Amino acid sequence: MVTCIANTGYEALLAGILAAFLAQLIKFIIFTIKTKKINFKIFTTTCGMPSSHSAGVMGLSTAVGLIEGWDSIVFAIAIGYALITMYDAAGVRRAAGKTAACLNRMMEDFYKHDVQAIGGKLKELLGHTPLEVIVGAIFGVVFAYFFHFYILGQNL
């Protein structure tokens, strides 16, 4: 059953999805250990160590490279997509989170700490630090190799 997805688009898709899910699981475990509290909302957050976005896109890209070849057009497209996603996670979304934090402080001062009067606070934790992105990317690559060679049993 498992080998029927080996070397197909299903393998690449599954490698990306599982890498992202496992990165979210790692975030949940780290949060639980640090705070000694269980919070299932961590599974839907967009920040923290490691970046699940980076893990997912690099897991997908690595699987594509293993299946189609490192010099294929498909791999070039996948890695391009991964680089844009990781740049966005560490750049644009992180900047948006910092802007939200600043606006929240301004609104608290302006509305005398009654932020609910304007609809509540903006979400501040949107992006990742460069380290979170790099660790997520490395996790995605390692997971895709492990998935391809050990779980699906492909030969080296």
What's residue 68's pLDDT?
96
What's residue 81's pLDDT?
94
What's residue 71's pLDDT?
97
Question: pLDDT tens digit string along 111-120?
Answer: 666 656 555 6
Question: pLDDT tens digit string along 16-67?
Answer: 999 999 999 998 988 888 888 888 777 777 667 788 889 999 999 999 999 9
Residues 136 and 58: beta-carbon distance below 8 Å: yes
| Sequence ranges of the domains in the chain | 2-91+127-151
Question: pLDDT tens digit string along 83-128?
Answer: 998 888 776 656 666 666 666 666 666 666 665 655 566 555 556 6
> In angstroms, what CA-CA distances link 15 with 55, 92, 101, 113, 115?
10, 26, 34, 46, 42
Residues 29 and 49: beta-carbon distance below 8 Å: no
Average pLDDT over residues 63-78: 97
The residue among 31 and 69 whose pLDDT is bigger is: 69
The mean pLDDT value of the chain amounts to 82
The CA distance from 65 to 7, in Å, is 10
In the block, tokens 């970046």 appear at 51
Q: Which residues of 119-154 are buried (b: 16+ CB within 10 A; e: fewer)?
A: eeebebebbbeeebbbbbbebbbebbbebbeeebee
Query: H/E element holding 109?
Result: helix 92-110
